Amino acid sequence: VARQERGIRTRQLILESAGAVFAEHGYAGTTICDVYNRVGLTKGAFYFHFASKDELAEEVLAAQVGRNQYPVVPRELKLQELVDSGMVFAHALTYDPILQGSIRLSLDLHAGEIDRLRPFRAWIAQNLRALEEAREHGELHPRVDLLDTAELLVGSFSGVQVLSHALSGRRDLERRVSVLLSHLLPSFAVPGVVAKLDMAPDRGSRVLAEMRQPAWEDSNILEMRAA
Amino acid sequence: VARQERGIRTRQLILESAGAVFAEHGYAGTTICDVYNRVGLTKGAFYFHFASKDELAEEVLAAQVGRNQYPVVPRELKLQELVDSGMVFAHALTYDPILQGSIRLSLDLHAGEIDRLRPFRAWIAQNLRALEEAREHGELHPRVDLLDTAELLVGSFSGVQVLSHALSGRRDLERRVSVLLSHLLPSFAVPGVVAKLDMAPDRGSRVLAEMRQPAWEDSNILEMRAA
Amino acid sequence: VARQERGIRTRQLILESAGAVFAEHGYAGTTICDVYNRVGLTKGAFYFHFASKDELAEEVLAAQVGRNQYPVVPRELKLQELVDSGMVFAHALTYDPILQGSIRLSLDLHAGEIDRLRPFRAWIAQNLRALEEAREHGELHPRVDLLDTAELLVGSFSGVQVLSHALSGRRDLERRVSVLLSHLLPSFAVPGVVAKLDMAPDRGSRVLAEMRQPAWEDSNILEMRAA
Amino acid sequence: VARQERGIRTRQLILESAGAVFAEHGYAGTTICDVYNRVGLTKGAFYFHFASKDELAEEVLAAQVGRNQYPVVPRELKLQELVDSGMVFAHALTYDPILQGSIRLSLDLHAGEIDRLRPFRAWIAQNLRALEEAREHGELHPRVDLLDTAELLVGSFSGVQVLSHALSGRRDLERRVSVLLSHLLPSFAVPGVVAKLDMAPDRGSRVLAEMRQPAWEDSNILEMRAA
DNA sequence: ACTGTCGGGACGCCCCGTTCAT
DNA sequence: ATGAACGGGGCGTCCCGACAGT
C-alpha cells in the first residue's frame, strides 16, 4: 500500500512534467524522453504508468476536462460568478503545468486522434449556462446573443492566454484577462451590474483563498472541486 | 533562363501547400513530405527551392510579415480603418493558405529558432498606431490604455480565429471577428463613433473589392483574391 | 543490471564490425547500416550503444590509441624492442579488425572532426623514445637524426601495410614488414647490432606467445589473440 | 574550333579541381558539387564533360596511370634514374592536384568499381625494371630480392607521402622522400654507387629543370612526357 | 558545342515511440 | 523499474537526367 503511494506520486510527477513540456512544445514537438528525463525517470518507468504518448496526452487533457468550469462560490450577481470562474482559471494557469499543457493540447489541432474540441465545447457550454442564469437575473442586455457571447469569451480568453504566454511567459496573464473582461463585459452586461463587478487582476487569487477556508489545504484545484 | 517561369510557379505551389499543412499540423507536426506530396512533387524538387524545413517555415512567415498590416483605404473615422484592417485580414484568412500557415506558425511557440513574435509585435504596433490616430481624432474614450487595447485586439483576434478554425474550419471566421469587434469597440470608442462604424461580416470582402478598383497591384493580396 | 553482460558483448561486436567496415571502405564510404547488418543487429540496437557515426569512429580510434605502443618484453638490445613492437603490431593487424579500422581511419584524412593525427603522433613519439634509448646504449650510428628516423619508420610501415592490404588482404603483411625492417635498420643501427636482431616474419607471433606466459592480462591484445 | 578550346580548358579545370577534392576527402567523401563549385561551374557544365562521378575518378586516375613512371633523363648509374624518378614524382606531387588525387584514389580501397591497383602494379613494374637494369650494371648487392625491393619502394614511398600530407600538407614531402631513399638505398645498392647518388631534397626540381631545356615550358608533367 | 534551370528519387543518418526480458 | 533492442520514418544530401537557351 505504501508501495502504491510512490506509484501515484510518480504518475503525478509525470503528468506535471508532461503538462509543462506539452505546453512548451505542443504535441508533435514533445518527445516522451523530454517528459521522463525532466523528472529523472527512465523509459521503463514511464511506460509502466502510461501505455503511449497518446494516452499520456489524453490523460493530461482529461485531468483538466470538466474542471476548467470552475464551480466558484455562489454570488448574488451571476456575472460575478462568470468573472470569477475566468479569473480563477487564469490564476490557475499561471502555476499549474497540467492545465497549461491541457490548454496547449486543446489548441494544438490534430494532435494525434484525440478529440481536442471536448474541452472547448465544455467550456463554452459552461459559459452559456452562466449567461442564461445571468439573463434570468436580468443582468444582461436584452439583445445579446448568448451563444455568440459564450464562444467569444472562450475564443478571446484563449487568444489572450496564448499571447501572454508568448510575450511574458504568462506572468501578466491575470492582468490581461482582467483587461479582456473589463472590455468585454460592458458589451453584454447592464451598466448597473458592471459597476458592481470585481474584475481586478488578483480576483482569481482572492476567490481561491476564499474557497480554501473549509480546510482544503491541498493546493490542487482538483481537490477543491469537492465543494 | 527564361525558363524560370516554371520554377517560380513551383516555388509558389510549395509555399501554399506548406501554409496549408503548417496551418493544419503546426511546425513540428508537419512533414516536408506532406508538403511536397500535396502538390505532386518530389523531395528533389522541394530541396531545389528550399534549403530546409526551417527555411520553408521562415518563408511562409516572411510572406506575411509586413502584410498583415493591410493598407486599407483611408476613412474619415480612423477606427473604421482599424476595423477594416481586421476584417480584411479575417477575410484573407479564409482563403489564403500562406496566411493561415503563417498565423499558426506564429502561435506555434518555439517552432525551430524562428522569431515567431515578430508578426505579433508588428501587428500590435500597427494597431497601436491606428489607436493613436483615433485618439487624436477624438474617437476614443479618454481613459483608455492604448497599448493594453492594441494587445487585447491582437490576442482576442488570434483566439477567435483559432476557435473558428477548430469549430468550423474558418467558415464562420468573419462573423466571429465581426462579433468580436462589435463587443470590443464600444469599450474604447466613443458612442457616436461606434454607431457609424461598419463591422458587418462581409466588410472585409467589400473593402477588398473597393481596393481592387484602381491600380493597387503593389498589394499582392489582390492577386490572391482571384480565387 | 547483471544483464549488462549482453550489452557489453553487443557493443564489442559492433566495434569489431565497425573496424572491419571502416578498414575496408574508409569513413565516408562506410554506412552505419553496413556495420550493424554485419552482426545481425538493427538500427535501434546500434544507436543504443553509439550516439552517432562520428562517435563510433572515435571509439574505434580510441580502442587502439595507447595500444599500438605495444609494451614488449624488455631486451638487451633496445632496437630489438623497437623491432618487436613493430612486428607485434603487424601481427595484431592481421587479425584484429578494430586495429585495422583504426589504422584506416587514421590514414583517412578529414574523417569528420576527429583528430586522426593523435595515433600517428603517439606512434612517432614511442619510436622516438625507443631510438633515444638505443642511442644511449650505443646501438645507433652517431649521425642519425632520430626524429627523421622515427617518422620514417611510421610512414613506411603505414605504406607497406596499405600495400599489403591492397595486394594480399594483409596476408603477407608480416613478411613485408620484416622486409621493410631488414632494409631500414642497417641504415641507422650499427652493424654488430643488426646482426643480432631477429626480424623474421613470425617474430610478432613469437613475442606474443612469450608475453602470454605470465599474467599480462592487462594487455587486451592477448585476449583477442584467442582466434 | 576555338569553341572547343574553352571546352578543353574547362575539362582540365574540372579534372584539377577533382584531383584536389579527391585528394582531400577520398572518393566517397567527395561530392560532385564540391568539384564544380570549386571552379565556379554548375552541374550542367560538369555533366557535359563527365558522365558520372565514377568516370571522373577514372579520368583522374588515368591522367596519372603510366605516368608516375617518369622517364627521367638517362644517367650512367641506373639507380640514379630510379632515384630521379622518385624525386621527380615527389616534386610533382607537391603541386599537381591531379597527381595528388590520383594517389589518394589509389590508396582509397574499394572506391567504386575502379581498379585502383593498376597504378600500383605499374609503378612496381617500373621500379622492378629499373632494378633489373641496375643489377645488370652491377650496382646492386647480389642477394637482393628485386621484387621485394620494388614493392617496398612503392609501399614506403606511399606511406611517407601520406604522412607528409597529414603532418605538413606535403610541404616537407621532398625532404621526407629524400630521407627515405637515403635510408633505403644502402640496403640494396653497393656502397660505391650509393656514394655517387644524388638524393638531395631538391633533386626532383633540378631534374625537372634539366628536362625543360628543349623548350617544354609547360610546367605540366604530361607534356614533358613527349621526350 | 556548351552551360544553366529544374526536378527525380535513392539513400544515409539519426530520432523516437515502443516492446521484451529480467 | 531497467537495460537492451526494434523498426518506422523524417530530414537532408547526393547523383543524375531532362531540357532549354546560347
The three-state DSSP-derived secondary structure of C1-56 is CCCHHHHHHHHHHHHHHHHHHHHHHHHHHCCHHHHHHCCCCCHHHHHHHCCCHHHH
- Which whole number is the average pLDDT over A8-24? 92
Nearest-by-Cβ selection for A160 from B155, B161, B187: B155
Kindly list the residues from chain A whose CB atom is less than 8 angstroms away from the CB atom of residue B107: 107, 162, 166
Instruction: Please give the Cα distance from A150 to A148 (Å, whole number).
Output: 6
Count of Cβ atoms closer than 10 Å to residue B43 Cβ: 11
SS3 A43: helix
Supply the pLDDT for residue A1. Answer: 44
Supply the pLDDT for residue C3. Answer: 61
- Which whole number is the average pLDDT over A91-117? 82
Kindly indicate the confidence band of residue D61, based on its pLDDT and cuts at 50, 70 and 90. Answer: confident
**DSSP 8-state secondary structure symbol assigned to residue D140:** B
Supply the pLDDT for residue B70. Answer: 61
Question: Which other chains touch chain B, taking contact as 3+ CB pairs less than 8 Å apart?
Answer: A
pLDDT, one tens digit per residue, over C34-50 is 999 999 999 999 999 99
Q: Is any atom of nucleic acid chain F found less than 7 Å from the CB of residue D54? A: yes
Whether pLDDT at C70 is above 70: no
Whether pLDDT at B226 is above 50: no
Task: Please indicate if any CB of chain C lies within 8 Å of the CB of D184.
Answer: yes
Supply the pLDDT for residue A215. Answer: 45
The pLDDT mean for chain A works out to 87
- Which whole number is the average pLDDT over C162-188? 95
Supply the pLDDT for residue B68. Answer: 53
Task: Please indicate if any CB of chain B lies within 8 Å of the CB of A131.
Answer: no
Cell of B156: 482576442
The number of C-beta contacts closer than 8 angstroms across C and D is 134
Kindly indicate the confidence band of residue D23, based on its pLDDT and cuts at 50, 70 and 90. Answer: very high
Whether pLDDT at D227 is above 90: no
Q: Pick out the nucleotide with least CA–C1' distance to A36.
A: F1
| Cross-strand pairs, B189 | B140
pLDDT, one tens digit per residue, over A142-198 is 999 999 999 999 999 999 999 999 899 999 999 999 999 999 999 999 999 999 999
Q: Is any atom of nucleic acid chain E found less than 7 Å from the CB of residue B49? A: yes
C101 within 8 A of C19, measured Cβ to Cβ: yes
Instruction: Please give the Cα distance from B193 to B186 (Å, whole number).
Output: 9
Instruction: Please give the Cα distance from C184 to B219 (Å, whole number).
Output: 81
Supply the pLDDT for residue A36. Answer: 94
Whether pLDDT at A211 is above 80: yes
pLDDT, one tens digit per residue, over D137-169 is 999 999 999 999 999 999 999 999 999 998 999
Kindly indicate the confidence band of residue D111, based on its pLDDT and cuts at 50, 70 and 90. Answer: low
> For cell 528550399, what's the residue?
B50
Whether pLDDT at D113 is above 70: no
| Cross-strand pairs, A189 | A140
Supply the pLDDT for residue D224. Answer: 43
Whether pLDDT at A224 is above 50: no
> For cell 630489438, what's the residue?
C80
Residue type, A185: L
Instruction: Please give the Cα distance from A55 to A112 (Å, whole number).
Output: 10
Q: Which of residues 57-86 of D touch C (CB under 8 A)?
A: none
Q: Which residues contact A86 (CB under 8 A, 6 or more apart)?
A: A153, A157, A177, A181
The residue whose CA lies nearest the C1' of nucleotide F18 is D44
Quick one: CA dihedral A47, A49, A51, A55, positive or negative? negative
Cell of B190: 466613443
Q: Which residues contact D44 (CB under 8 A, 6 or more apart)?
A: none
Supply the pLDDT for residue C110. Answer: 65
